[in-house]
Structure 1
Amino acid sequence: MIISIKDAVEGMVLAENIYSSDGIPLLEKGAILKNIYIENLKKNDIKNICIENESFNKISVECMIKCAINKEAIIIAKKIIDKLPFSQDENIKEIIVIKEKIIDELLGEKEILKNILNIKTIDNHIFDHCVNVSVISVIIGKSLGYNKEELIRLGKGAMLHDIGKISIPLEILNKPGKLTKEEYEIVKKHTTFGYEILNKISGIDEELANISLSHHERYDGYGYPNNLKAGEIHEFSRIVAISDVYDALTSDRVYRNKIKNEEAVEYLFNMKWKQFDGNIVDKFIESVASYSIGRKVILNTGERGIVAEENKGVPTRPIVKINYDQYNNEIKKPYYIDLLENKSIIIENTFN
């Protein structure tokens, strides 16, 4: 059964492995708890643990499943945050805490738990994608000034945005080649399927179900399923649309390889006021894709340096002070590269 770490006592036996938010193993299944272990788990911000229970029953099985999904979701959330430039580093811990709250609330409803399990059974990549989209949406929502309750609602809806894909044939979802016109029309139905599924679940209101229905609507009216445009699309759905496309572009798929962060951001930037709400794209770039001054970066040329100055309005193309050449040799006289003037040079990665 799952219990709060606050209720853990010496002598209890772990029923599942425990991992840190970075995915590092802390204790193995079968370990007998000692007070020093419990204190260490608290220091690692572990909120709940699964323990063996002699009266093992269906409720305990559900608790174990919830625990496993929660653990996996937190690890995925940490990974997506780690790969983002993410200029507001001090907010990372808060985003993780909010993500835990979102997962806890979602898994508290049996019908949602069943559908999330169905997603994982069909395709783990869809589950990963849903977690990533939820995290990115929460970061954007925070930059828009949403309060905690609004962030949790946005994150819950984003987490469930692709739930309709459980109704799409697996051979179409995992097809490695280009979809036929008929197959694409079937895939597009995941929005209405998701809306219908969520409308039957208690605790999911119209506003959240609508995210599943409308996350493929586009600002210019050329989306689906209802060709909504601009303000006709709820702001939650406009946020999730951007998060959805960004994560899809920067993740490997069976039918194509991922593209670089910079390329994905430039695509979103070029689609402002066309496919996407321009104001939200700007907030996305500012909070998710920009490089803060002092950030250590690696260029596609192999050179390394730090962000010395931001280019106003184009935060993905700052001025970089180069300290190391392409062979990782320290440069005696550092020089500057303005990425706005050198379009062929991009930031490939960051380092500590």
Structure 2
Amino acid sequence: MLISVDNAVDEMILAKDIYNTSGVILLRKGAHLKKNYIENLKEKGIKTIYIKDESLQDNNIQKIVKEKTRKEALNIVEETIRRLPFSQDKNIKQITYVVEKIVDELLDGEDIFMNLLDIKAVDDYTFDHCVDVCVLSIILGKNLNYSRDELVELGKGAILHDIGKILVPQEILKKPDKLTYGEFQEMKNHTVYGYKILQKVPEMSENSISISLFHHERYDGKGYPNGLKGENIPEYSRIVSVADVYNALTSERVYRKKGKNQEVIEYLTTMKESQFDSHIVDVFIEKIAMYSLNRNVVLNTGVKGVVVDINKNFPLRPVVEVRYDESGQKLLRPYHLNLLENNSILIDDTLN
């Protein structure tokens, strides 16, 4: 079961290895947690962990991308972006290497029906966001039947889509209040900044580079910087646009709380044809599991439980084992509720 480190207590048994940002194991699966271990994890910025829960079946939950690979990607993205200008071959070869590794791990999976909530941000937002958007974009590309070479090309552009923000003043990027008109115009310039940076990088195709310029264009032509409309926006950019907005809205930011998964999906659905390519949104919602196995959830009826099975053709309607009633009382006899058979019942929120 995935829990917040804040809720961890002595003698809980770790169910998955924990890695630091360099890909080094901090604690191995099977370790019994101690108070000093928990405090150390908090100090190192680890937000969530998997623990053993004997009442659940062992679903052998696998990360969609290995944690070690993800941490390695974070390191490479941070090192690459902080070393501007990075026109040296070494830098882009590192990016290519880690994107290929992510692509191959996703292609090796028997089923691309992924659990989005397992790739959420736990570290520095900017770099973590880049890796998350890369993974989401590759998943979408695979479901759109892209070849391996196309997935690598898409992934390289996606992982560097926000690189222009390195040239936007930090006081604008991290401002908790509403941006002034001038500040917003400067923020929008990150698309042009990024494009100009990547044009100087060898081994980057125009298809990859253009993602940095066009990922804020809108399907109705009201985006920026060029006001492109519909299919005039390159498909790679239309894919990254969906991944970018989903990840941004479900992440904690200095100026707003993260949105509930259900609310963000409703937003994507509402904005089909205006902000997003309708087909890409449909693929995103239909092919990607929104609620991972063994995830704690609260339903709109007020009861709480844990996801125990996924309805693969209906990712928003999993099977939930209800464990607590509306008043928060633990049930002596938990029961299974298949949301596919109960259309009026929805997952209202996820819990740690």
Partner of residue 331 from structure 2, selected from 329, 332, 346 = 329
Aligned to 2:179: 179
* Structure 2 residues not aligned, in runs of 5+: 1-16, 29-43, 50-60, 81-87, 96-122
Counterpart among 59, 64, 70 of residue 92 in structure 1: 64
Q: Comparing 170-179 with 320-329, which one deviates more in the overlay?
A: 320-329
1:188 shift after superposition: 0.5
1:148: Cα distance to partner? 2.2
Structure 1 position 158 matched with structure 2 position 161 = no
User: Structure 2: how far apart are the matches of 1:177 and 1:231?
Assistant: 34
Q: Offset at 1:280?
A: 1.0
Query: Secondary structure of the residue that 2:145 maps to in structure 1?
Result: coil
Secondary structure, in 3 states, of the residue corresponding to 1:331? strand
C-alpha RMSD over aligned residues: 4.1
Q: Is the 8 A contact 1:308 1:319 kept in 2?
A: yes
* Structure 1 counterpart of 2:89, one-letter code: E
> What TM-score, normalized to structure 2?
0.63
| Per-residue deviation, 1:253 | 1.2
1:216 match: 216
- Taking structure 1 as the reference length, what is the TM-score of the superposition? 0.63
Q: Do the aligned partners of residues 206 and 91 (structure 1) sit closer, same or farther apart at CA in structure 2, a change above 3 Å counting?
A: same
- Count how many residue pairs are aligned between Structure 1 and Structure 2: 269
The structure with higher relative contact order (CA 8 Å, sep 6+) is 2
Shift of 1:322: 3.3
Task: Map residues 203-352 of structure 1 onto 2, 5 A cutoff.
Answer: 203-291=203-291, 297-300=296-299, 301-306=302-307, 310=311, 315-318=315-318, 320=320, 322=322, 324-325=324-325, 326-331=328-333, 340-342=343-345, 345-349=347-351
Tell me by how many angstroms 1:296 deviates: 5.9
Distance 1:297 1:195, change over 3 A: same
Q: Secondary structure at the match of 1:204?
A: coil
The gaps in structure 1 that reach 5 residues or longer are: 1-19, 29-39, 41-71, 80-88, 116-122
Give the C-alpha shift of residue 143 in structure 1. Answer: 1.6
The residue identity in structure 2 corresponding to 1:340 is: N
Contact 1:290-1:316 at 8 Å conserved across structures = yes
Distance 1:334 1:159 in 2: 40
Fraction of identical pairs, as percent: 43
Aligned to 2:25: 26
Greater per-residue helix proportion: 1
Closer, same or farther: CA 347–331 of 1 in aligned 2, 3 Å: farther
After superposition, the Cα gap between the structure-2 partners of 1:308 and 1:138, relative to the gap in structure 1 and judged at 3 Å, is closer
SS at 1:304 equivalent: strand
Q: 2-side partners of 1:172 and 1:214: how far apart?
A: 21
Question: What does residue 32 of structure 2 align with?
Answer: none
CA contact (8 A) 2:319 2:338 kept: yes
Summarize deviations over 1:208-256 as a string: whole Å, max 9, x none.
1100000001111111111111111111101100111011101111111
SS at match of 1:177: coil
Amino acid at match of 2:316: T
Can you list the C-alpha shifts for 1:168-206, whole angstroms capped at 9, x where unaligned? Answer: 112111111000111111110110111111111111121
Task: Compare CA radii of gyration and give the structure with the larger one.
Answer: 1
Provide runs of 4+ in structure 1 moved above 4 Å: 93-108, 110-115, 294-297, 305-312, 318-321, 332-339
